């Protein structure tokens, strides 16, 4: 029977109030929803939006303490700034494009200039409360799912000026989410690093930094200190810190008005340029940028009015005017610092000269690898690229991803079920080389590692990465886990910045299929399997031990609408070396004991 056509007339046109639209299209406002298992999941974004408003008060010189509390699923934030003007409290948390951040005299440096932040928190919370204290008076308002339930005006002479906000993320939006303390604490530490003199108190735990970005790098490096004392500049709108390590590549932590710009942008490029110019001027040399920056770990933070970002996620600054003042300021600061610290300068120059020597030694190895690759095939072996890249000199990366998978069987399933426009597949020949402890020439001498690098487009610099997501997709068995660890070792050893920038992911696929003639459940754990078995009569249970066992028709949903990705993150750079040494080094007895103590029988 034909479906009746729906009339497109005046009745079909709908107007949603702003907060209803936020609930309907929440991803437009807070990005991913998630379940709290990733630091970028929506519940943490809600908390960030509330704290950002308190941080803005501190930046403008009002309030040096922010108190955050969590009791079960209720989060509260109390600042001691100026407080929202009492007559506009309700509007500021419920009417779109309403706020003080349009006024440059009131808020000079802010990322969120669209007046959406707390409105989104309000709309996406089961319960939301705001209370502003000003001059002995207060205004309190309570909401449920963005709809106001109660307003109250009053006096409280004992209350300090400021704003209090509490909220409970709505399970209708976020499902069965769970808070992870380490994610909250990580964000609060960064707030402290970026706002010297501010104290954040979370459930009694204090976060404070005396030395800003210097403290950030010191924490990242841990006991594995840099090759020389960290250089630190804190001057008005610009703050920077850097040192060198014996690691490969370069790693940056960059920020704009407190926003972490994971993919850098014009401020980070200007910092790199100023650093190169400053070192060359001091040394009276013309060192290549790659030699100066190999092994560098740096941090840069800028405060600018009305920043322009290259994407909605605000992870890359596009404002071009910052170069004009950042480059000379960084250059001059580096020159002065090197003249004042001659011993440090000698260590830095020695590191650069060692990099230069290594680069020249690698030149012939690179040339041989490129010639070998040309003889092998015109195209990169085992790479099935996505259409969006074909014919592009500099392909777009925002929506693209590449699956690194084991063998032709799994690769074949992915090739048949993928989105041909945006998803690429690279099939490994077998287990990659364990490159822990090996020098950089290993990735040019080993054909597999070299082809992975070519497929990703990072042979010369990680800035040329061709895909937004690099997804490790291996079988859920011992061999698959081993291959996953070998690939992670490869990235962390030679291309750590890809991980720091958030480009590397693990694909989760179902371990079990539980079905009868009427229903089918795909389960990612034994607990889910047991629940599914209890729901069905006479169920058939299949254990997927390899990705190739999942048919292309089934596989499509697991790399499309139902894709589950775990972003690879490091708590601190200092932890990377320890983890690689333990899992991939030669400490066989310790590792064996760990495996025995943590053995999961179902994996084998």
Q: Give CB contacts under 8 A, 24+ apart, made by 422-425.
A: 422/386, 422/388, 423/386, 423/559, 424/383, 424/384, 424/385, 424/386, 424/389, 424/400, 424/455, 424/467, 425/383, 425/384
Q: Residue 592: is it exposed, middle or buried by C-beta count within 10 angstroms (0-12/13-18/19+)?
A: exposed
Hey, which bits of 448-547 come out as E strands?
469-473, 504-508, 512-515, 520-523, 540-543
Report the CATH number that the domain containing residue 558 is assigned in CATH. Answer: 3.40.50.670
Lowest mean pLDDT among 273-277, 366-370, 393-397: 393-397
In a domain, 247, yes or no: yes
Residues 76 and 118 in one domain: yes
What does the pLDDT read at residue 598?
65
Would you tell me how many other CB atoms lie within 10 Å of the CB of residue 4? 6
Question: Total structural domains in the chain?
Answer: 3
pLDDT band for position 452 (50/70/90)? very high
Q: Is 2 contained in some domain?
A: no
Q: Is the pLDDT of residue 591 over 50?
A: yes
* Residue 484 near residue 506, CB atoms below 8 Å: yes
Are both 202 and 291 inside the same structural domain? Answer: no
pLDDT in tens, 311-327: 666 788 999 999 999 99
Name the band, by pLDDT with cuts 50, 70 and 90, for residue 230. very high
Residue 298 within any structural domain of the chain: yes
Residue pair 54/149 in contact (Cβ under 8 Å)? The answer is: no
Residue 82 lies in a domain: yes
pLDDT at 339: 97
45 & 114 share domain: yes
- Give the contacts of 179 (CB within 8 A, at least 6 positions apart): 36, 43, 70, 73
| pLDDT at 122 exceeding the cut of 50 | yes
Last residue of a domain, one of 207, 225, 253: 207
Are β-strands 125-134 and 137-144 bridged in parallel, bridged antiparallel, or unpaired? antiparallel
CATH of the domain at 262: 3.30.230.10
Is there a domain that residue 8 lies in?
no
- Which among 223-232, 276-285, 575-584 has the top mean pLDDT? 276-285
Q: What are phi and psi of 533, to 5 degrees?
A: -60, -40
Cβ atoms of 113 and 102 within 8 Å: the answer is yes
Mean pLDDT of the chain: 86
Same domain, 342 and 394: no
Asked whether the predicted pLDDT for residue 11 surpasses 80, the reply is no
Q: Report the SS3 class of residue 509.
A: coil
**Mean pLDDT lowest among 321-325, 461-465, 474-478:** 474-478
56-102 tens-digit pLDDT:
899 888 999 999 999 999 999 999 999 999 998 998 888 775 555 54
The reported pTM is 0.80
pLDDT of residue 103: 47
Tell me: pLDDT of 176 over 90.
no
Of 298, 293, 297, whose CA–CA distance to 355 is shortest?
293
pLDDT tens string 352-391: 999 999 999 898 898 888 888 877 666 788 899 988 876 5
Regarding whether 199 and 53 lie in a shared domain, the answer is yes
What does DSSP say about strands 469-473 and 401-406: parallel, antiparallel, or unpaired? parallel
In a domain, 529, yes or no: no
Strand stretches in 429-547, DSSP E: 469-473, 504-508, 512-515, 520-523, 540-543
Polymer length in residues for the chain:
604
Q: What is the mean pLDDT of residues 468-472?
A: 94
CA-closest candidate to residue 550, choices 423, 411, 385: 411
Structure tokens that stand for 576 in this block? 């990377």
Query: The domain containing residue 443 runs over which residues?
Result: 377-509+544-603
Cβ-count burial 160-173 (b if 16+ within 10 Å, e if not) = ebbbbbbbbbbeeb
Single out the residue in 165, 188, 207 at which a domain terminates: 207
Q: What is the CATH number of the domain that holds 82?
A: 3.30.565.10
Query: Which of 357, 389, 408 is at the close of a domain?
Result: 357
Q: How confident is the model at residue 47 (pLDDT cuts 50, 70, 90)?
A: very high
- The values of phi and psi at residue 143, to 5°, are -130, 155
Q: Is the pLDDT of residue 346 over 90?
A: yes
Least confident of 226-240, 260-274, 573-587: 573-587
The pLDDT of residue 491 is: 94
Are 337 and 405 contained in the same domain? no
Nearest Cα to Cα of residue 409 among 544, 505, 561? 544
Return the percentage of the chain with pLDDT > 70, whole number. 90
Regarding whether 192 and 223 lie in a shared domain, the answer is no
Asked if 350 and 399 sit in the same domain, the reply is no
The pLDDT-based confidence of 22 (bands split at 50, 70, 90) is: confident
33-45 pLDDT, tens digit per residue, is 888 888 888 899 9
Tell me if 537 is assigned to some domain: no
pLDDT of residue 54: 92
Q: What is the pLDDT of residues 406-437, one digit of tens each?
A: 877 778 888 999 999 999 999 998 889 998 88
Structure-model confidence comparison of residues 582 and 364, the more confident one: 364
Q: Are residues 225 and 292 in the same domain?
A: yes
Q: Are residues 62 and 171 in the same domain?
A: yes
| Whether residue 8 has pLDDT greater than 50 | no
Q: Is 296 helix (H, G, I), strand (E, B) or coil?
A: strand
Pairing of the two strands 231-235 and 238-244: antiparallel
Check whether residue 563 and residue 425 sit in a common domain. yes
Q: Residue 522 domain-assigned?
A: no
pLDDT class of 331 with cuts at 50, 70, 90: very high
Which range, of 144-158, 360-374, 504-518, averages the lowest pLDDT? 360-374
Q: Say yes or no: 142 and 266 in one domain.
A: no
């Amino acid at each position: 029977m034909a479906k009746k056509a729906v009339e497109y007339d005046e009745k079909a046109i709908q107007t949603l109030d702003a907060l209803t639209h936020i609930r309907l299209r929440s991803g437009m406002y807070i990005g991913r929803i998630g379940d709290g298992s990733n630091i970028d999941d929506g519940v943490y974004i809600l908390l960030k939006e509330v704290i950002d408003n308190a941080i803005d008060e501190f930046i403008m010189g009002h309030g040096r303490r922010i108190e955050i509390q969590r009791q079960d699923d209720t989060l509260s934030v109390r600042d001691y700034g100026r407080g929202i003007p009492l007559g506009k409290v309700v509007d500021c948390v419920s009417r779109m494009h309403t706020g003080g951040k349009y006024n440059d005299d009131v808020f000079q440096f802010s990322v969120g200039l669209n007046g959406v932040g707390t409105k989104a928190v309000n709309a996406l919370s089961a319960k939301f409360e705001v209370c502003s204290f000003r001059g002995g008076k207060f205004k309190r308002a309570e909401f449920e799912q963005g709809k106001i339930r109660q307003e109250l005006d009053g006096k409280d002479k004992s209350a300090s000026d400021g704003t209090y906000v509490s909220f409970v993320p709505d399970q209708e939006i976020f499902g069965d989410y769970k808070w992870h303390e380490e994610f909250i604490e990580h964000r609060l530490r960064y707030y402290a690093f970026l706002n010297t003199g501010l104290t954040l108190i979370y459930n009694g735990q204090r976060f404070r930094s005396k030395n800003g970005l210097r403290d950030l790098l010191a924490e990242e490096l841990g006991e594995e200190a840099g090759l020389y004392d960290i250089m630190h500049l804190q001057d008005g709108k610009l703050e920077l810190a850097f040192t060198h390590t014996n690691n490969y590549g370069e790693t940056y932590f960059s920020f704009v008005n407190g926003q972490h710009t994971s993919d850098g942008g014009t401020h980070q490029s200007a910092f790199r340029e100023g650093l190169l110019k400053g070192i060359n001027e001091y040394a009276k040399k013309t060192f290549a940028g790659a030699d100066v920056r190999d092994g560098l770990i740096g941090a840069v933070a800028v405060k600018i009015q009305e920043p322009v970002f290259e994407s909605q996620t605000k992870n890359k600054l596009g404002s071009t005017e910052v170069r004009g003042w950042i480059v000379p300021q960084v250059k001059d600061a580096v020159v002065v610092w090197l003249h004042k610290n001659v011993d440090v300068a000698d260590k830095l120059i020695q590191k650069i000269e060692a990099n230069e020597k290594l680069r020249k030694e690698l030149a012939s190895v690179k040339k041989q690898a490129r010639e070998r690759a040309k003889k092998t095939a015109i195209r990169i072996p085992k790479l099935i690229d996505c259409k969006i890249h074909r014919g592009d000199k500099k392909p777009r990366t925002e929506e693209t991803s590449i699956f690194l998978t084991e063998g032709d069987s799994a690769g074949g399933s992915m090739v048949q079920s993928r989105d041909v426009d945006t998803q690429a597949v690279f099939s490994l020949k077998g287990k990659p080389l364990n490159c822990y402890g090996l020098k950089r020439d290993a990735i040019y001498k080993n054909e597999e590692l070299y082809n992975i690098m070519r497929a990703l487009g990072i042979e010369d610099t990680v800035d040329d990465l061709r895909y937004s997501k690099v997804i490790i997709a291996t079988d859920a068995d011992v061999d698959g886990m081993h291959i996953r660890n070998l690939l992670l070792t490869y990235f962390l050893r030679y291309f750590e910045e890809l991980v720091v920038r958030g480009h590397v992911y693990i694909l989760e696929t179902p371990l079990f299929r539980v079905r009868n003639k009427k229903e089918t459940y795909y389960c990612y754990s034994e607990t889910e399997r047991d629940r599914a078995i209890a729901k069905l009569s006479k169920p058939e249970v299949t254990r997927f031990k390899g990705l190739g066992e999942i048919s292309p028709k089934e596989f499509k949903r697991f790399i499309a609408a139902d894709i589950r990705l775990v972003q690879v993150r490091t708590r601190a750079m200092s932890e990377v070396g320890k983890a690689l040494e333990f899992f991939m080094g030669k400490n066989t007895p310790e590792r064996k004991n760990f495996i025995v103590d943590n053995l999961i029988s179902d994996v084998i």
